[in-house]
Amino acid sequence: MRLVLYLAAVSIAFCADHPDLNGVWKAADSGETISIHQKDGEVQIAESGKETSEIQCNTVGQACKIKGGEVTLWYNAETLVVVESLHGNSHVTKRRLKLSEDGRNLEVETVHITPPGATQKVSLSRQSHS
């Protein structure tokens, strides 16, 4: 019984450490929109803009299947890390999603690993909270 209570307390404390990324976020300049829904150790992310995509995966670093490849998510302190591998690892990107200091913006850094490319940074503002 003690073990169950301990594990429940650790789980609650672990979840409490994650930032509240829930909501709809929009970039003013590009019109890109990201919708994030976090619940019970899983994250669902839907994006629209130049391309539309949707992923849903756990946040413990286990790969999840997506159309054309797989995605892996985990938290590194206050940052949600998303690594997408597509088409047999011919396209690999790593994104870091983090709240701004004031909590009003979502800062997204995209690193193009394969093929190598320039790192992109975009700031999105919260349109609604879910």
Domain boundaries, the chain: 20-128
pLDDT at res. 31 = 83
pLDDT at res. 35 = 97
Token code pair at residue 109? 């850094």
pLDDT at res. 14 = 42
Contacts of 45 (CB under 8 A, 6+ apart): 34, 35, 36, 54, 55, 56, 82
| 20-128 fold | Lipocalin (2.40.128)
Among the listed residues 34, 73, 68, 37, the one whose alpha carbon sits nearest the alpha carbon of residue 57: 73
Among the listed residues 74, 110, 107, the one whose alpha carbon sits nearest the alpha carbon of residue 92: 110
Locus of tokens 């909270």: 129
pLDDT at res. 81 = 98
Phi, psi torsion values for 94, nearest 5 degrees: -125, 125
pLDDT at res. 16 = 52
Token code pair at residue 107? 């800062």
- Ordered per-residue pLDDT tens for the chain, 130 residues: 443 333 333 333 344 578 999 999 999 888 899 999 999 899 999 999 878 899 999 999 999 999 999 999 999 999 999 999 999 999 999 999 999 999 999 999 999 999 999 999 999 999 988 7
